[in-house]
């Protein structure tokens, strides 16, 4: 879809901020996930969501897609899924006697891939290739995917039987690794009240009216890439990333790390910070943006040594130690 409507930075910002607020009102305690979804959509990134069943992952992404009038599809990964089930395939067309390409579900704006680790490796790799290249090659032809294009994949941390864990190289393709936590008592009460009152209301208002659209997202993406990344911020990012490789004063912490963060770590961190700053109405990145985004951007990108894991250390703990030991300026 193209349009010559040229929405300015301010109007796009107001629209997307109200998308954010509206979602935050409906989804208890999901502020971080909602912000990460918006950032990823604005920057061409993708999200891996880890969390137990029933924490409103599907609901969050579905409502997000509705609010921005994006084409949304949910795919449940199963061991018998084939790459063509995602990409589409050439089908014989009787009348014309030719083969025609029938687009698969990847030709949508927002793809929710539930339980990605239940998909066989060939499907995972087709998906991850689409995420990276934003195009699909089949039968000697290359087809561009939609824009914006966001893959949100979910993974259940408690079930590993019969799964195919994503290889490190493929994890690296994600911008964010978001952990969705169980609600506390207060949040649980809010969820309960909300669901009960929704069930009780005459017209169940699950369908959301769009308050933005994909053209606004496209325009906003351009404004996001114009956000200034100062030398000081770049230096801060580089010091955090290279600390995972054992450099600098925080380098000592890298003794717990078997595989450090690749340059994708610093690229995703700076691009995500541009979007975070823009969404906050700023035209510059603050060190606090970096601090807040680093755990979700970097935790899935490093692999800990066996000994560290045996001591109960997590990737997030290690990133936090690096942040604590790395001065912003
Ligand atoms: N934090 C929350 N805020 C608002 N509603 C919530 C929240 N957590 C759970 N719910 C309620 O729980 C229901 C289940 O959510 P949903 O089906 O989206 O979960 P899910 O994380 O996708 O689960 P699964 O992993 O089984 O697919 C939602 O429809 C919603 O009513
Ligand atoms: Mg779900």
Nearest protein CA to atom 25 of ligand 1, as residue: 53
Ligand 1 centroid to Cα of residue 317, in Å, is 27
Integer Cα distance of 40 and 54 in angstroms: 23
**What pLDDT sits at residue 207?**
66
pLDDT at res. 6: 61
Query: Domain residue spans in the chain?
Result: 9-214, 227-325
Indicate the pTM of the whole model: 0.93
Rounded to 5°, the CA angle 64-70-76 comes to 75
Show the beta-strand stretches assigned E in the chain: 47-50, 72-76, 88-93, 98-103, 110-114, 135-138, 141-144, 150-155, 176-179, 257-259, 303-304
- The residue contributing the CA closest to ligand 1 atom 24 is 53
Q: Tell me, what's the pLDDT at 164?
A: 82
Q: Name residues of the chain where pLDDT drops below 70.
A: 1-7, 159, 202-207
Local structure of 219: helix, strand or coil? helix
pLDDT digits (tens, 9 = 90+) for 183-235: 999 999 999 998 888 887 765 555 678 999 999 999 999 999 999 999 999 99
pLDDT at 1: 38
**What per-residue confidence (pLDDT) applies to 2?**
39
Q: Is the CB of 23 under 6 A from ligand 1?
A: no
Instruction: For ligand 1, say whether the CB of 61 is within 6 Å of any of its atoms.
Output: no
pLDDT tens digits along 115-146: 999 999 999 989 988 999 999 887 778 899 99
What span, in angstroms and rounded, lies between the C-alpha atoms of 39 and 268?
11
Cα-to-centroid distance, 264 and ligand 1 (Å): 31
Ligand 1 atom with minimal separation from the 180 CA: 21
The answer to whether the CB of 112 is under 6 A from ligand 1 is: no
Query: Residue 137: what pLDDT?
Result: 81
Mutating to test ligand 1, I would choose from 34, 51, 55, 57 the residue with most ligand atoms within 8 A of its C-beta, which is 55
Its CATH architecture, for the domain 227-325, is Orthogonal Bundle (1.10)
Q: Topology of 9-214 in CATH?
A: Rossmann fold (3.40.50)
pLDDT value for 4: 41
Q: Report the atom number in ligand 1 closest to the C-alpha of 53.
A: 25
């Amino acid at each position: 879809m193209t349009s010559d409507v040229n929405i300015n930075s301010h109007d796009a910002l107001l629209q997307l901020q109200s998308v954010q607020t509206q979602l935050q009102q409906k989804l208890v305690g999901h502020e971080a996930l909602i912000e990460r979804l918006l950032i990823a959509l604005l920057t061409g990134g993708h999200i891996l969501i880890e969390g137990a069943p029933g924490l409103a992952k599907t609901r969050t992404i579905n409502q997000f897609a509705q609010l921005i009038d994006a084409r949304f599809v949910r795919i449940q990964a199963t061991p018998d899924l084939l790459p063509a089930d995602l990409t589409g395939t050439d089908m014989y067309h009787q009348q014309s006697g030719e083969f025609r390409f029938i687009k698969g579900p990847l030709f949508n704006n927002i793809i929710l891939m539930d339980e990605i680790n239940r998909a066989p490796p060939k499907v995972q790799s087709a998906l991850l290739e689409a995420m990276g290249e934003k195009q699909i090659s089949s039968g000697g032809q290359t087809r561009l995917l939609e824009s914006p294009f966001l893959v949100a994949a979910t993974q259940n941390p408690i079930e590993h039987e019969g799964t195919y864990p994503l290889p490190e190289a493929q994890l690296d393709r994600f911008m964010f690794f978001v952990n969705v936590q169980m609600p506390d008592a207060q949040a649980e009460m809010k969820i309960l009240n909300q669901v009960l009152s929704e069930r009780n209301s005459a017209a169940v208002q699950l369908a959301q009216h769009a308050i933005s659209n994909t053209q606004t997202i496209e325009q906003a993406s351009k404004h996001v890439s114009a956000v200034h990344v100062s030398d000081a911020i770049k230096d801060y990012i580089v010091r955090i990333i290279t600390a995972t490789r054992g450099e600098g004063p925080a380098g000592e912490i890298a003794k717990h790390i078997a595989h450090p963060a690749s340059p994708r770590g610093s690229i995703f961190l700076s691009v995500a910070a541009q979007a975070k700053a823009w969404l906050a109405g700023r035209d510059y990145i603050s060190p606090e943006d970096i601090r807040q985004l680093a755990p979700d951007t970097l935790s899935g990108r490093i692999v800990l040594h066996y000994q560290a894991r045996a001591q109960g250390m997590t990737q997030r703990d290690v990133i936090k130690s690096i942040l604590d030991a790395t001065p912003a300026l």
